[in-house]
Amino acid sequence: MTTINRRDERGSAMQKVTWISTAVDLLLSVLKLVVGFLVRSPALIADGIHSLSDLLTDFLVLIINKVAHSEPDEDHPYGHARFETLGTVILGIVLTAVGIGLAWDNIIRLLAGDAPSNPSIWAIGVAAVSLVAKELLFRYGMRWAKKLNSALLEANAWHSRSDAWSSLVVLIGVVATWFGYGWIESWAALIVAVLIGKMGIELGWNALQDLADRAIPQDIQNRIRQEIKAVPGVDNVHHLRTRLMGNEIFIDVHIQVGNFISVSEGHQIGDYVIARLRRNFPDLTDITLHVDPEDDAAIERPGMAPLRPDIMSAMDKYPALSDHQRMQIHYRRQRARLELYFVDAPATDCIREREQALQELDWLEDIELYQSARR
């Protein structure tokens, strides 16, 4: 199934799905409450009130979706995707509360030995219509939740499924009561309450993990490593860190390239890595790439090798070496390797001072002497 990833298209699609859900919930709520009061069915009235809770969560989804798909601003440079995760937490809490409330109500009913009133054929018909409509709404919502990779839509779809189960309980109850088995309604409702509460806890807990910067699944991380290593010039991959913000993935990764290549070549390799990742992982929103000449994850750092200004100052002590035309510096394990280029072939003084510098400068790994190519 094709996934929609552009922020504006995704937001519009989520709004459309939620508005359809809102319209259906509104119609069902009115239908259940009107018929429930007309035929005096307490079970149908309670189911209508339950549908009203769906309306509240639909409006919550609409508001949060609008905020979550807002463009990044000065206060939120990484965007607002976490609001979608926050909305999922809230919906998980709502589902849990609905499950607890439904369980409590039916436990009290069972302990008291109360049986629901005899329903009418109208109550049976409305419960059946509600069951079919909410199940279709659940399947519609889940289809788009997977297409849009939206935990928020998934949570709202499961809320629709909870209402479908509630309607099923009402239908079973009114039909069973019609045949003289009114106690079945309370036991069925209790089972559904447990399932709703379990679903709410799972959705809320998973969303909380995302708020705490939970990493993406390990198999996707392995695929990311493989794609990076497939880029020519990448010797190794380390320090890969990932986190989720809504449906968006943020990664921070170090790549190791050749120790003696130029900065521009290393940067070009990094650009190819980013382009390949974006092509193969459309949900990657932000990629922070570090280009390393060595595996810095395995390096003990007793000290820092000097930068160019300090190296040039140290070379002032060696007049023959200081007479170079150009100096190239390479670093490895916090030691410096120098390439010195001279107009003429390096003289004996250069060779002597090279040996002296290697003995006196502990941060110096080697000095290579070259004659610049004449034009």
Q: Is 37 inside any structural domain?
A: yes
Residue 298 belongs to some domain of the structure: no
The reply to whether 16 and 128 lie within a common domain is yes
CATH no. for residue 233?
Answer: 3.30.70.1350
Domain boundaries, position 319: 308-371
pTM of the full structure: 0.60
- Burial of 76-100, coded b for 16+ CB within 10 Å and e otherwise, reads eeebbbbbbbbbbbbbbebbbebbe
Model pLDDT, residue 246: 65
How do the pLDDT tens digits run along the chain, 375 residues long? 444 455 567 667 777 887 888 888 888 888 888 887 887 666 676 677 667 766 766 677 667 666 666 676 677 666 666 777 777 788 788 878 877 887 787 787 677 766 555 566 787 888 888 889 888 888 988 888 888 777 667 777 877 777 787 778 778 777 776 776 666 666 766 776 777 788 778 878 887 877 777 788 899 999 999 999 999 999 999 999 998 776 678 899 999 998 888 899 999 999 999 999 999 988 788 899 999 988 766 556 567 899 999 999 999 999 999 999 999 999 888 889 999 999 888 889 999 999 999 999 999 999 999 998 655
Under the phi-then-psi rule, with left for phi > 0, alpha for psi from -120 to 50, and beta for the rest, what region is 246? left
Q: DSSP secondary structure string, 290-327?
A: EEESS-GGG---SS----HHHHHHHHTT-HHHHT-SEE
- Which residues lie closer than 8 Å to 303 by C-beta, 6 or more apart? 334, 363
Residue 282 lies in a domain: yes
Q: Is 217 exposed, middle or buried (0-12, 13-18, 19+ CB in 10 A)?
A: exposed
Asked whether residue 299 is domain-assigned, the answer is no
- Both 24 and 110 in one domain: the answer is yes
- Considering the domain architecture, whether residues 257 and 338 belong to the same structural domain is answered as no
The helix-helix angle for 42-68 and 82-112 (nearest 10°) equals: 170
Domain count, the chain: 3
Asked if residue 19 belongs to a domain, the reply is yes
236 shares a domain with 205: no
Q: Judge if 199 and 227 occupy the same domain.
A: no
Asked whether residue 102 is domain-assigned, the answer is yes
Domain boundary among 266, 293, 320: 293
Q: What is the pLDDT of residue 65?
A: 66
238 with 351, same domain: the answer is: no
pLDDT of residue 12: 77
* 207 and 222 share one domain: no
pLDDT at 297: 61
Residues 248 and 161 in one domain: no
